[in-house]
Structure 1
Amino acid sequence: MLVVGFPTGALQANCYLLASGEGEACVVVDPGQDAVEPIAEALRKHRLSPVAVLLTHGHFDHAFSVTPVCDGNDVPAWIHPDDRDMLSDPLKGVSRETAAFFGGQLAMREPSEVRELADGVTLDLAGLSLLVDHTPGHTGGSVMFRAGTGEGGRLVLSGDTLFAGSIGRTDLPGGDHAAMLESLRHKVLTLPDDTVVLPGHGPSSTIGRERAGNPFLVGLDDRPAAPRRGM
């Protein structure tokens, strides 16, 4: 498998291109701010043809370039329905401080074609099989994408659910700390230790490394489950 990754924008969100190899079809994951040109350069360099854009969640630092990338290549965007509103209202999921930093104005619109993700569904795209895990907590519609590699390895694109040594914040609009703990317990800690983690920010890691040293994960699988909220 070919994986190309690079940080984008003011908040340095990681964008990834995944393909079965050079000169093949690919998917683009999380095209954030200022991602259009780096993506185009990577497509040229590796002779790749995009067939879809996948979003781990709707925050603008991960989705700001989704429309020019999708509409410019005539491909759909995939996002969980709980985060879809942020594609046309990017300030919906940010803090007051972030909104103020951008002058209270940040314009986005939906791509021409948007498809909605569901938990447990496998997407067969660009010769890859990507399993969708709904992991609410950072946002209501956060997801991770799991894939196997042709070399026998496995990886997870964890978005802002899991970082190397940390997890995504849950104090933003739509965040839910109890839901995050459930996602970490049931969707992250159940993964094999050799799974490579490609996070939404910062360096890569492995599930084993995070299980052993991430302070937000250590002992989490031994704690009682958080009580579920009533309807």
Structure 2
Amino acid sequence: MNIPLEDNFTDVIGKAQRGLEISDSDLAKKARLDASAIRKLRRGHYDELALFRVAPVLGLGARALADLAQNEYRPEVREIDGLTMFNTPYHDMTVNAFLVWDPKSHEAIAFDTGADCRPILDRVKRDKLTVKLILLTHAHPDHIADLSRLKTQTGAPVYISEREAAFGAETISEGHEFNVGNLNVKALLTWGHSRGGMTFFVTGLARPIAVVGDSIFAGSMGGGNISYKEALKNNVEKILTLPDQTIICPGHGPMTTVGEEKAHNPFFVGRI
């Protein structure tokens, strides 16, 4: 499944500016650039000198940001046995949902619903899986748009962070663990993009998995709608400290790994 990156370099600059509350004029002054240079960057014009001056002001890795601007970063992560991603259109974007299962017991966990859960239900039927849990990374509409149908069709209980709410969902706190077949799932509170954003760390397959919602994207991160500072902190301390081979399953864009994002994500290069 060839899914484009969720953000380009201008998106990354914009998210950092908004999070740090730095205006274009302030950014130009701090980076020792003309305001016109900032406007050109924001419109997508690649200027290496301007980019390398702007990046440190915004706490971004300059080389990683340049690689993103020149389309030189693209993580190559394949699905493993017991993991499938579903990408569905939602208005003018697409959104991901995931199905993780124990290949021996065929017991499964659905993570979010995407805009349309029918592809999840088709895969469940095709592989004769039994969905035992529905776990929600957060309650933004694009991620739970088809929750009613998924819950009704599978009969599985639904769980979400105690700091958010979704119809028919029970709440859990950080550290809560689930066991499904040979799989263990641990809930990590990675809020900042949303008030109760959860990352679910799954072990029991060939590689560990982190279903992160909108906390981290390949080459970027979700906007710090609630707290940019806390979003960065939680991503660094709770996601990027997981083993490098951990597959990151984001709410938008392609899958990646902890190792890839530590090395190539402009928000995190040099922070760990």
Quickly name the TM-score band, shorter chain normalised: 0.7 to 0.9
1:200 corresponding residue in structure 2: 251
Tell me the CA shift for residue 169 of structure 1. 1.0
Q: Which amino acid aligns with 1:7?
A: N
1:229 corresponding residue in structure 2: none
2:137 corresponding residue in structure 1: 56
Pairing of 1:1-231 with structure 2 (within 5 A): 1-10=81-90, 11-21=93-103, 24-35=106-117, 37-84=118-165, 87=166, 110-111=167-168, 114-151=169-206, 153-171=207-225, 175-221=226-272
Tell me whether 156-165 or 2-11 shows the greater mean CA deviation.
2-11
**Retained in 2: the 8 A contact 1:56–1:79?**
yes
**Retained in 2: the 8 A contact 1:163–1:201?**
yes
Tell me the CA shift for residue 207 of structure 1. 0.7
Tell me the CA shift for residue 197 of structure 1. 1.0
In 2, Cα distance between equivalents of 1:195 and 1:145: 12
Where does structure 2 lack aligned partners over 5 or more consecutive residues?
1-80
Q: Which amino acid aligns with 1:45?
A: R
2:59 corresponding residue in structure 1: none
In 2, Cα distance between equivalents of 1:46 and 1:164: 29
CA radius of gyration, larger in = 2
**Retained in 1: the 8 A contact 2:201–2:211?**
yes
Tell me the CA shift for residue 166 of structure 1. 0.5
In 1, Cα distance between equivalents of 2:235 and 2:176: 19
User: Structure 1 vs Structure 2: percent identity of aligned residues?
Assistant: 29
Tell me the CA shift for residue 148 of structure 1. 1.7
Q: TM-score, normalised by structure 2?
A: 0.66
Where does structure 1 lack aligned partners over 5 or more consecutive residues?
88-109, 222-231
**Greater RCO, 1 or 2 (C-alpha within 8 Å, sep 6+):** 2
Tell me the CA shift for residue 9 of structure 1. 2.9
**Retained in 2: the 8 A contact 1:164–1:203?**
yes
Tell me the CA shift for residue 73 of structure 1. 2.2
Structure 1 residue matching 2:164: 3-state secondary structure: helix
Tell me the CA shift for residue 154 of structure 1. 1.2
Give deviations 1:47-78, integer Å, cap 9, x for gaps. Answer: 11111111011111111111221123222111
Tell me the CA shift for residue 22 of structure 1. 6.8
1:99 corresponding residue in structure 2: none
**Retained in 2: the 8 A contact 1:22–1:47?**
no
In 2, Cα distance between equivalents of 1:46 and 1:165: 33
Tell me the CA shift for residue 138 of structure 1. 0.6
Tell me the CA shift for residue 189 of structure 1. 2.4
Tell me the CA shift for residue 185 of structure 1. 2.3
Tell me the CA shift for residue 184 of structure 1. 1.6
Tell me the CA shift for residue 188 of structure 1. 1.9
- Greater helix percent: which structure? 2
Tell me whether 119-128 or 162-171 shows the greater mean CA deviation.
119-128
Tell me the CA shift for residue 125 of structure 1. 2.6
Structure 1 residue matching 2:159: 3-state secondary structure: strand
Q: TM-score, normalised by structure 1?
A: 0.77
Give deviations 1:91-128, integer Å, cap 9, x for gaps. Answer: xxxxxxxxxxxxxxxxxxx13xx221211121113442
Tell me whether 45-54 or 121-130 shows the greater mean CA deviation.
121-130
Give deviations 1:141-185, integer Å, cap 9, x for gaps. Answer: 10111112333x2111111101110001123xxx21111021022
Structure 2 residue matching 1:82: 3-state secondary structure: coil
